[in-house]
Amino acid sequence: MRNLMIRKLDSKKAVIAVVGLGYVGLPTATIFAEAGFKVIGADINSKVIETVSSGKSHIKEPGLDELVRKNVKEGKLSATTSVLEATKDADVIILCVQTPLTKNKRPNLVYLEEACRTVASGLSKGKLVVVQSTVPPRTTRDRIAPILEKISGLRCGEKFWLAYCPERLTPGKSLKEFVENSRIVGGYDAESAEIASSLFKTVVRGEIFVTDSVVAEVAKLSENAFRDVNIAFANELALICERIGVDVMKVITLANTHPRVSIHTPGCGVGGPCLPKDPFLLLSPVKKGKFESKVVEPSRRLNETMPLHTVRLIIGALKKVAKSVGSSKIAILGVAYKGNVDDARNSPAEKIIRELTRLGARVVVYDPYCNESFGAGSAKSIEEAAMDADCLVITTDHEQFRHIKLGSIKTLMKGKPVIVDGKRLLEAEAVKRENFDYYGIGYGLN
């Protein structure tokens, strides 16, 4: 059975079902189809299935639309709303289902577990199930495997294989990183790890690291928790520098000349689907034992305060030029959670916009990638957003915003214009030379 599956994978005759066609699932399905596999994409959202079946991508990702069109046309990629039928027809089932947090920051595995129940109903001897969804430690072994075994009546590791293989994708670079990045394969058992490794070797040029599922789960969460902690340090350093009256960017530039120091860039908040969530997933198993986090959770909490700190900077900056936030027009540049993507999930801009609106400000947003406005007015250009504005706030590091024509923008804004740089994209002295009042995270109001 093992040798047959490896031959199917090596010859690319195995049929692959990808369950969940979101930011991870659709690139996954498309890459395996492009490699020569027959791939069935399954999603309960009928609109997603209609879009993919017509040869289009419902998410903006460089190169993805073209690859979807090509592989649908060639018959290598198809889409269905029936997870059960896709499972029955496939040799490999890859789960890319969302795993959000509840309102009280606990893992919500409802969607993943429901998908597992459906997959289990269509599971048969000799199939491989791969979990790519980000999950709390021990989920694959203690929650997914029992569901699959109970409903299918098959023994995991004997009649079918199970592995946890976390994604390491960045929106805007998903196709490139899927192929080029190294990959962690965490098997339920040694044979499951071997089979899953054979699967990913067909498309991944980076190194494949084999371990067990629990180690793989913790490793995935540790990657993002580390980044969140590093950003929190940068943010706390920025708060310190604001009070001392020095520019945190100058401090970080000098500190990073040390060969063993690499401080991240501070900012108006941390967004996206991973960093705001994964630290809580990492801590969730030990919370039951009353473990008190001294680093990971405090760092997450600090990062969550940065949008409101940015609002306080805006209020203070306006006050310095004898203006009030409630009577001001504020132009927000960027609603996506990171630069050069259209994804606004957990964007820090949302909290900033909603708080400014609550305080009575007239808020207008411009984002060249994203159509979300979080209830504010929308502009079609930087110039339109800046027209008659009292304050310009940068909340996303889109490349376009690094090259703002300050002289032209100043003529459009009201007297005593203010720039609050929530991403530290602009050089402070250059902004001041154009007769703006400049403030930013780690630059402060001194």
Q: Which residue among 165, 241, 268, 274 is the active-site one?
A: 274
Tell me how far apart the alpha carbons of residues 333 and 432 are, in angstroms, rounded to a whole number: 19
Q: Strand order of the sheet with strand 437-440?
A: 377-378, 362-366, 329-333, 391-394, 418-421, 437-440
pLDDT tens digits, 383-441: 999 999 999 999 999 999 999 999 999 999 999 999 999 999 999 999 999 999 999 99
241 is annotated as an active-site residue: no
Looking at residue 289, its pLDDT comes to: 75
319 is annotated as an active-site residue: no
Looking at residue 419, its pLDDT comes to: 97
Looking at residue 287, its pLDDT comes to: 83
Q: Which residue among 38, 127, 220, 351 is the active-site one?
A: 220
Looking at residue 171, its pLDDT comes to: 87
Q: Which residue ranges form the domains of the chain, and what is each CATH number?
A: 2-214 (3.40.50.720), 305-440 (3.40.50.720)
Tell me how far apart the alpha carbons of residues 177 and 169 are, in angstroms, rounded to a whole number: 6
Looking at residue 2, its pLDDT comes to: 85
Tell me how far apart the alpha carbons of residues 366 and 361 are, in angstroms, rounded to a whole number: 16
Dihedral through CA 376, CA 415, CA 269, CA 335, nearest 10? 30
Residue type, position 116, single letter: C
**CB-based contact 436:419 (threshold 8 Å):** yes
Cα–Cα distances (Å) from 118 to 111, 144, 268, in that order, read 11, 12, 41
Segments of the chain with pLDDT less than 70: 446
Looking at residue 446, its pLDDT comes to: 64
What is this structure's pTM?
Answer: 0.93
Looking at residue 1, its pLDDT comes to: 82
Provide the angle, in degrees to the nearest 10, between the axes of the packed helices 2-10 and 190-201.
Answer: 10
Comparing C-alpha atoms, which of 423, 402, 434, 441 is closest to residue 247? 441
Tell me how far apart the alpha carbons of residues 328 and 345 are, in angstroms, rounded to a whole number: 27
